Amino acid sequence: MTENTAFGRMHAAVNTGDLELIEKTIDEVVDPGLVFHAPVPTGVPGVRALKQVWRTLLPAFPDLRVHIEDVVVQGDKAVYRNTVTGTHLGEFRGLAPTGRSVCYGEIFIVRLDAGRIAEVWGVVDVLAQLRQLGALDA
């Protein structure tokens, strides 16, 4: 359904767990002027922030997988509801590896321009993620 879109290519790269491929794919499918609206503590904008997300997540969750549950497309925008799974095997947000599995939801709205990802809005269930890692009380 999304394989031939910029987001579909990005999704396929992410699920390889190969940071070099992910960053190469970002360079190919994401507009250099990306506007990235997501609660990521990177302190950098756009494409650099998007790359930093994967530089943070993959060492912490080397088996991370993103499963697309729903896609809604209208005009130049698509909404993706995803389920993310992984095992906490590396440092994440100051938390030492726990070996625990996580499963949490996220929703992204992606705007395309000339076939490239130009703008992203994201909501990630970080509360569920941190609870499953034992960083917060249930």
At 136 the pLDDT is 83
Look up residue 81 and give its two tokens. 């509801």
pLDDT beneath 50: ranges in the chain? 1
Specify the CATH number for the domain of residue 90: 3.10.450.50
What would the pLDDT profile of 99-109 be if each residue is shown by its tens digit? 999 999 999 99
Number of H helices, E strands in the chain: 4, 5
HSE, CB side, 13 Å, CA atoms: give it for residue 78: 19
Q: How far apart are CA 18 and CA 131, in angstroms?
A: 27
Domain hosting 59: range is 6-132
Find, among 19, 135, 23, 40, the residue nearest to 88 by Cα: 135
Q: pTM score, two decimals?
A: 0.90
In a domain, 103, yes or no: yes
In a domain, 138, yes or no: no
In a domain, 75, yes or no: yes
Position 20: which residue type? E
In a domain, 137, yes or no: no
At 1 the pLDDT is 41
